[in-house]
Amino acid sequence: MAEARNENKWDWRSKKFWTDGWGSLGLAILVALFIRWGFFEAYVIPSGSMLPSLLIHDHIFVNKFTYGVRVPFSENWLVKFSEPKRGEIIVFKYPRDMGTFYIKRVVGEPGDKIYYENGTLFVNDKPFEKKPPVDNKDADWLRDEDFRGEDSGYDGKDNYVHFIENLGSVEHSILLRKGDLYDTYGPVTVPDDSLFVMGDNRNRSSDSRVWGFLPKKNILGRASIVWLSCEETLPVVRFLCNPLTIRFSRFFHVVK
């Protein structure tokens, strides 16, 4: 007669440890960390610098695999698959504080000559077209509250103009503030292994015009989709969405 075996879920040598015990939990954590390190990671948009393309409290997935695979806890690459292209939205480590993450749009690649004047972006002496949008679906999301911060005082969506910018092969929304004096920037030439990045909310973005070129080693990945979005977070737990203000129609919105 075969003798029944009583497996101990605390014994790492037993099958039960890996199916019902602490081993299964440990494996789940390792798999989650592996996916976060090499493939996808979730981020939350904290400010209005990318309006109207990305809204405050948009929760996005960032594709970390698209450009390559890095050595864990390092800026060094194990293998590279591609380079960021003009028009792509990327998440990166802020050059002045590597513990802070920023999100901006790539407007200049290595060797590009960048010039910005009167709200128009020039790359290699070519102005990129701004045109009125065919529809207002991007701007319809905007609220007056999205434009009010500690340093901006009273502001509102009616003070901004929505355009579509043709950035090479990428068409995307930008905002310009009415009546602002648009500072002239450049011309500058993007050095090797660097990028020039800007926010889509052109008059309310701290970007390469303020802190300089972005080293490519700082890049974490490319923004891919919005998987959750809300107008407000909970008053006590600030990183959780208020379920009463969820923007359901932005779920699985592709970032472009």
Q: What percent of the chain has pLDDT over 70?
A: 82
Higher pLDDT, residue 74 or 62: 62
Give residue 249's pLDDT: 93
pLDDT digits (tens, 9 = 90+) for 153-206: 678 899 999 999 988 788 999 999 987 766 789 899 999 999 999 999 999 999
For residue range 102-132, what is the model confidence (pLDDT) as tens digits? 999 999 999 999 999 989 999 999 999 899 9
pLDDT of 256: 86
Mean model confidence pLDDT for the chain = 85
Owner of token pair 């990318």: 50
Tokens standing for residue 177: 């503030």
Per-residue pLDDT at 1 exceeds 70? no
Mean pLDDT, to the nearest integer, of 69-79?
78
Q: What is the pTM of this model?
A: 0.83
**What was the pLDDT predicted at 184?**
86
CB-based contact 115:145 (threshold 8 Å): no
Q: Evaluate if residue 58 carries a pLDDT over 70.
A: yes
Domain range summary for the chain, segments of one domain joined by +: 41-254
> What topology does CATH give the domain 41-254?
Umud Fragment, subunit A (2.10.109)
The catalytic site residues sit at: 49, 104
Q: What is the pLDDT of residue 150?
A: 53
Q: Which element (helix H / strand E) includes 161?
A: strand 160-167
Which pLDDT score is estimated for 118? 87
Residue range 229-234: mean pLDDT, rounded? 93
d(CA 166, CA 129): 6
Phi, psi of 165 (to 5 degrees): -105, 135
